[in-house]
Structure 1
Amino acid sequence: MKNFRDLLVWEKAHRFVLGIYSMTRAFPNSETYGLTSQLRRSAASIPSNLAEGCGRSTETELARFCDIAMGSACEADYQLLLARELNYIDEETYEESFQQIAEVQRMLASFTRKLRSR
Structure 2
Amino acid sequence: MKSYRDLIVWQKSMEVVTLTYKLLKQFPEDEKFGLTSQIKRSSVSVPSNIAEGYGRNYRKDYVRFLNISRGSLYEMQTQFQIGMNLKFINENELKEIKVLSVEIEKMLNSLINKLKD
Same fold (TM over 0.5): yes
Q: Could you tell me which amino acid in structure 1 is paired with residue 90 of structure 2? A: D
* 2:70 is the alignment partner of 1:70: yes
**Counterpart of 1:57?**
57
Structure 2 gap ranges (5+): none
8 Å Cα contact 1:49/1:66 also seen in 2: yes
8 Å Cα contact 1:2/1:54 also seen in 2: no
Paired letter, 1:55: G
User: Contact 1:2/1:55 (CA < 8 Å) preserved in 2?
Assistant: no
CA RMSD of aligned residues (A): 1.3
Give me the whole-angstrom Cα distance separating, in 2, the residues matched to 1:86 and 1:78: 12
Give the counterpart letter for 1:14 in structure 2. Answer: M
Residue 2 (structure 1) shift: 5.9
Q: 2:37 is matched with which residue? A: 37
SS at match of 1:76: helix
Q: Given the two structures, how large is their TM-score scaled by the length of structure 2? A: 0.95
Structure 1 runs (4+) deviating above 4 angstroms are none
Deviations 1:82-110 (A, max 9, x none): 11111111221122221111111111000
What letter corresponds to residue 84 of structure 2 in structure 1? R
Cα distance change of structure 1 residues 50 and 2 upon mapping to structure 2, 3 Å threshold: farther
TM-score (norm 1): 0.94
Kindly tell me the number of residue pairs found equivalent between the two proteins. Answer: 117
Counterpart residue number, 1:11: 11
Q: Which amino acid aligns with 1:72?
A: S
> Which ranges of structure 1 fall in alignment gaps of 5 or more residues?
none
